[in-house]
Amino acid sequence: MYPFFIKPILDFCIALFGILIALPILILTALLLAITNNGNPFFFQIRPGRHEKLFKIIKFKTMTDAKGVHENLLPDNQRLTRVGSFVRKTSLDEIPQLFNVLKGEMSLIGPRPLLPEYLPLYNDIQKKRHQVRPGITGWAQVNGRNSIGWEEKFILDVYYVNNFSFAMDLKVLFLTIKKVLLREGVTSVTSVSMEKFKGN
């Protein structure tokens, strides 16, 4: 009953409440990022959701579109702005995804939605992460976030899919708040962003 009825209702109600409460922060962050990103404060990208159905995720844009001499995007650490760095460290860039939750494309808690190009690279067990709606935060995020490797992250994702409950979601929610306040695991060891998954 919880996965198919209670969880979607809770997701919608909490997301709506969260947007209303965070509205002043949303507006201020959007204005600051619009100034640093030449008028574009938001980042849209196609991601796979439940049953690998594609949707467009919305986040705050923390990096510029600066390119090098060959018209290739510069490395992440060269494109990350000061405002963007603060937005990432405080996880404010995740707040716009509450709109994805309202639309039923995401859940508050679940495996993070990754890139569509990863879909052919998953093994049969890892594919199970798409049996539920992706989340703004999840079991893998509160157990390492970007500081753990892909294999461990997928193990944690599948564990969540096989075991999630109201009690587990509540635990993830409180641990997420703790992680955000302590700014733990925001980046990987070697990069501003998590390195791309290249297959098993």
The pLDDT tens digits for 147-179 are 789 999 999 999 999 999 999 999 999 999 888
H/E stretch holding 175 reads helix 166-182
From residue 162, give the alpha-carbon distance in Å to each of 48, 62, 175. 19, 34, 20
Give the residue among 189, 192, 191, 182 at the shortest CA–CA distance from 85: 192
**CA-based max dimension of the chain:** 56
pLDDT along the chain (200 residues), means of 10: 92 96 95 88 95 97 83 81 89 94 97 96 96 96 84 96 96 91 56 72
C-alpha–C-alpha distance, residues 13 and 2, integer Å: 15
The model scores a pTM over 0.85: yes
pLDDT at 192: 52
C-alpha–C-alpha distance, residues 69 and 7, integer Å: 49
- E strands, the chain, in order: 42-48, 54-60, 107-109, 135-137
C-alpha–C-alpha distance, residues 67 and 176, integer Å: 34
pLDDT at 182: 76
C-alpha–C-alpha distance, residues 92 and 48, integer Å: 22
DSSP tag of 133? -
Contact 137, 170 (CB under 8 A): no
What's the angle, vertex CA 50, arms to CA 44 and CA 51, rounded to 5? 120
What's the angle, vertex CA 43, arms to CA 148 and CA 13, rounded to 5? 80
The model's pLDDT over 112-133, given as tens digits with 9 standing for 90+, comes to 999 999 999 999 999 999 999 9
Q: Which two tokens stand for residue 183?
A: 């700014």
